[in-house]
Amino acid sequence: MYELIKLSPSACYIASPAKIGVYVPGDGGVYLIDAGSDKDAGRRARKALDEQGWTLRGILVTHSNADHIGGCQYLQRQTGCKIFAPGIEAEFTRSPLLEPSFLYGGYPPKPLRHKFLMAQPSECSPITDADFPEEVKAIPLPGHFFDQCGYLLPDGTAFIADCVSSPETLKKYVFPFVYDVAAYLETLAALPGLGAGMYVPAHAGPCEDIAPLAEINRQSIERAAELILGLCAEPRCFEDILKAAFDECGLTLDFQQYVLVGSTIRSFLAWHLDNGRVTAEFADNRLLWRRA
């Protein structure tokens, strides 16, 4: 773990639970793509760079989930590097309390205020900043999170963050985290057309052809959507739908899964409602969802 894997003279990644990309322009300075889950991940990433004699110039954030920005504060304090992130992701990087607050829908209790959902704050600049490496192309990849993007390097390597998961992860967790279902499906459809020579997902192996993995993820989303629709055959409130989904899939609910899967199921319900597949009605002071 945390070994440096070279893909090309200018593209590498540091093996970790959420891959840390490395862009090597060739003049001794490098850019990380994301920074791992915590201070220790940042420390080990820096060690990998030091062993190559590279100087960290900046961190290009794909999105602001804690497992991708957890090492940012440490690296910024140690090296003075700039951090760049797209849109809303920059705000979450500056104020990481926003992530558990968004997931919980209010001020998050202590069981949600931990490093897996809340990183340490970092100074952050937009990807339009003059110091952002102009030869790197930011590619919008919405759906998983607000303004998630990938980065296409000049050599054709694309770091595509969390827009796909491995088949093993999909089987284990059933519900990959999705913020905007419609945008997520559009991103999956667009991935093969990016024209990259190598795709590097954060939570799956690198590949030259992303189409098969994108299709596996699309099918997973369709199965989850049908499951939730089926659970709305009779009027149900959200808590009952969540319990039924966990029972159906053999999963065990805890605080973290309550907000992660719960948020995803709410997104599916919103998508179904917007497309006329379910109705939402208030009865006895409860919001009930029912298949249309």
For residue 292, which amino acid is it?
A
Sheet holding 149-152, edge to edge: 137-140, 149-152, 157-159, 198-200
Q: Which residues of the chain have pLDDT under 70?
A: none
Percent of the chain with pLDDT over 90: 99
CATH of the domain at 115: 3.60.15.10
DSSP sequence for 74-114: HHHHHH--EEEE-HHHHHHHH-TTHHHHHHHTSSPPGGG-S
Residue 171 lies in a domain: no
100 and 236 assigned to the same domain:
no
Nearest alpha carbon to residue 272 among 286, 292, 287: 292
How high is the pLDDT of residue 103?
A: 98
- Measure the CA–CA gap between 111 and 257, rounded to whole angstroms: 11
Q: Are 200 and 191 in contact (CB under 8 A)?
A: no
Q: Are 288 and 281 in contact (CB under 8 A)?
A: yes
Q: How many domains does the chain have?
A: 2
Which pTM was predicted? 0.97
CB atoms within 10 A of CB 204: 22
Question: Which of 162, 188, 208 delimits the end of a domain?
Answer: 162
Residue 216 lies in a domain: no
How high is the pLDDT of residue 129?
A: 98
Nearest alpha carbon to residue 217 among 228, 233, 201, 229: 201
13 and 158 assigned to the same domain:
yes
How high is the pLDDT of residue 181?
A: 98
Query: First vs last Cα of the chain: how many Å apart?
Result: 49
Q: Are 83 and 61 in contact (CB under 8 A)?
A: yes
Residue 246 lies in a domain: yes
Q: Give 111-168 pLDDT, tens digit per residue.
A: 999 999 999 999 999 999 999 999 999 999 999 999 999 999 999 999 999 999 999 9
136 and 266 assigned to the same domain:
no
Alpha-carbon 157 to chain mean position? 18
Residue 36 lies in a domain: yes
How high is the pLDDT of residue 179?
A: 98
- Measure the CA–CA gap between 99 and 32, rounded to whole angstroms: 22
DSSP character at residue 207? B
Q: Which domain holds residue 17?
A: 4-162
How high is the pLDDT of residue 1?
A: 87
26 and 119 assigned to the same domain:
yes
Sort 273 into a burial class: Cβ within 10 Å, 0-12 / 13-18 / 19+.
middle
Question: Which of 135, 162, 189 delimits the end of a domain?
Answer: 162
Question: Which of 127, 162, 197 delimits the end of a domain?
Answer: 162
How high is the pLDDT of residue 96?
A: 98
Residue 138 lies in a domain: yes
